[in-house]
Amino acid sequence: MAHAELDNQLDLLEGDTEDPKGGPSWLIMIAGTILTFVTCVAVSGLYYGAERREQDTKYISVASQAKETQRAANRARLMEEAHWETYTDASGDMIIDRKLKVPIDHAMGLVVSKYSDASEMKAGK
């Protein structure tokens, strides 16, 4: 039974490199596994987060570009001179006889002058 005293892993024989100590080997293996798992989760989180932000940005940019185009068209329409418009359907029949289109500044002035006179009359009574 002389070999029983050589089974001690803590006291390696001189030049014996075949059986390394179990503790450090397990520690390195567990730490490496945890590090690999954390790295994979972090990289996938970064990837899907960047993909989601890119999709949100693309969606918002398309919508905001359409809104900006619509705002420019509305602004140009509001700055037109006063004119009469008629509306017809596809067959050419008139739907609305005539409609007066007034620029917004002029329309606001008309409303202010109309209601400012009315408010002065009520205050004078």
Tens digits of residue pLDDT in 35-92: 999 999 999 999 999 999 888 777 555 567 778 888 888 888 777 777 777 777 778 7
Instruction: Give the pair of three-digit tokens for residue 47.
Output: 């990837």
- In this structure, the answer to whether residues 70 and 29 fall within a common structural domain is yes
> If DSSP codes are grouped into helix, strand and coil, which group holds residue 83?
strand
Are 72 and 116 part of one and the same domain?
Answer: no
**Which domain does 101 fall in, by range?**
80-125
Residue 49, CA distances (Å) to 42, 43, 46, 52 in order? 10, 10, 5, 5
Q: Which two tokens stand for residue 64?
A: 């905001």
Rounded to 5 degrees, what angle do the CA atoms 30, 36, 38 make? 100
C-beta separation of 96 from 78 below 8 A:
no
Question: Are 104 and 68 found together in one domain?
Answer: no
- Higher confidence at residue 89 or residue 109? 109
Q: Give the model's pLDDT for residue 78.
A: 72
CB 86 within 8 A of CB 101: no
Query: Within a domain: residue 44?
Result: yes
pLDDT at 107 over 50: yes
Of 87, 105, 108, 106, nearest to 96 by C-alpha is 87
**Per-residue confidence (pLDDT) for residue 87, from 0 to 100:** 74
Q: Tell me how many domains the chain contains.
A: 2
Question: Up-side HSE of residue 112: CA atoms within 13 Å toward CB?
Answer: 6
Residue of higher predicted confidence among 19 and 87 = 87
| Lowest mean pLDDT, pick from 13-17, 77-81, 91-95, 111-115 | 13-17
Pair 28, 71 in one domain: yes
Chain centroid to CA 53: how far? 6
CA atoms within 13 A on the CB side of 110: 7
11 domain-assigned? no
The rounded distance, in Å, linking the Cα atoms of 89 and 96 is 10
Same domain, 71 and 28: yes
